[in-house]
Amino acid sequence: MPELPEVEVVRQSLDKNIKQKKVKKVIIRNRNLRIKIPVNFANSLKNLKIIKVDRFSKYLILVLSNKSYCLLHLGMSGTIHLINFNKENFSTNTSFYNSPTLPKKHNHVEVIFKNIKMVYNDPRRFGFFQIIDNSSLLKKRFAHLGPEPFDSKFEVDYVASFFKGKQRNIKNILLDQNFVSGIGNIYASEILFLCKINPTKKVCLLKKKDILKIIFNSKKVLLNAIKKGGSSIRDFKNTSGKKGDFQRDFKVYEREGLNCKKHKCRGSIKRKIINNRSTFFCNSCQK
């Protein structure tokens, strides 16, 4: 499932390729995504320019020239392919998930510009498009979501007051989008490993120094993944579909039974289901 860093890599690629371009035509092959694409969708994009491509949490935001917005969420399996009409398209995927070139099936939406088109592919159809009419509605749309880890609002007093008196475990809280936006299952395990905090620890028991570590490592892990994603996407394009190194960098995620990577730690990585999600942690250095 694409998480914030993957969505950011897609955003960068879209911003580079479709910014300031005018939508010529929209083709919808299947309206039945997580939110059904409305009948007037094509008309709400046609002849508008993409001012820029923004992102909040895992939502891509196409900022349109009439001051409305087109939200795009990739769901569980969505990818965006860019097909350039004047070049050989030897790799079209804007992310490093799934096929590097456009699959034959599940291409539900096409947005066509002068020299390039953007194709939305989604086998499981949990993703969606949504038109938001103005900036105050956009603000409302995201009102239920907490700050991103990079946001200045994600600081010690905010985190401490959220944790106060709560019996919930830290792993579960890191995934709570009301608390912080954009930390998904993979990165929650990675962040807690760097903090040396056991994922089952109740948040009311965490000290100020733990909170500082959580804030620091949340930023660090996500920024690092964005950086890696960016470099792996370049590799990906250069070597015609060879996967980037990104996945090999995980310290705990999907490393069950392997040795802990922390210097001098003799523990091994365990997997545990916490609130229905696989969680990976070291049985020795995470207390």
User: Residue numbers of the site for Zn ion (CB under 5 A)?
Assistant: 260, 262, 265, 267, 282, 284-285
Tell me how far apart the alpha carbons of residues 165 and 191 are, in angstroms, rounded to a whole number: 22
Q: Which is nearer to Zn ion, 106 or 220 (CB)?
A: 220
Q: How far is the CB of 197 from Zn ion (least distance, A)?
A: 12
Q: How far is the CB of 198 from Zn ion (least distance, A)?
A: 11
Answer yes or no: 2 catalytic.
Answer: yes
Q: Which is nearer to Zn ion, 128 or 193 (CB)?
A: 193
Q: Which is nearer to Zn ion, 215 or 269 (CB)?
A: 269
Answer yes or no: 3 catalytic.
Answer: yes
Answer yes or no: 123 catalytic.
Answer: no
Strands (E), the chain: 25-28, 50-56, 59-64, 69-73, 79-84, 107-112, 116-121, 128-132, 269-274, 277-282
Tell me how far apart the alpha carbons of residues 145 and 143 are, in angstroms, rounded to a whole number: 6
CB atoms within 10 A of CB 44: 17
Catalytic residue among 55, 58, 237, 255: 58
Catalytic residue among 3, 8, 148, 190: 3
Q: How far is the CB of 284 from Zn ion (least distance, A)?
A: 5
Q: Which is nearer to Zn ion, 236 or 281 (CB)?
A: 281
Tell me how far apart the alpha carbons of residues 149 and 191 are, in angstroms, rounded to a whole number: 12
Q: How far is the CB of 267 from Zn ion (least distance, A)?
A: 4
Tell me how far apart the alpha carbons of residues 118 and 79 are, in angstroms, rounded to a whole number: 10
Write the burial class of residue 142 (CB in 10 Å: 0-12 exposed, 13-18 middle, 19+ buried): middle
User: Residues with catalytic annotation?
Assistant: 2-3, 58, 277
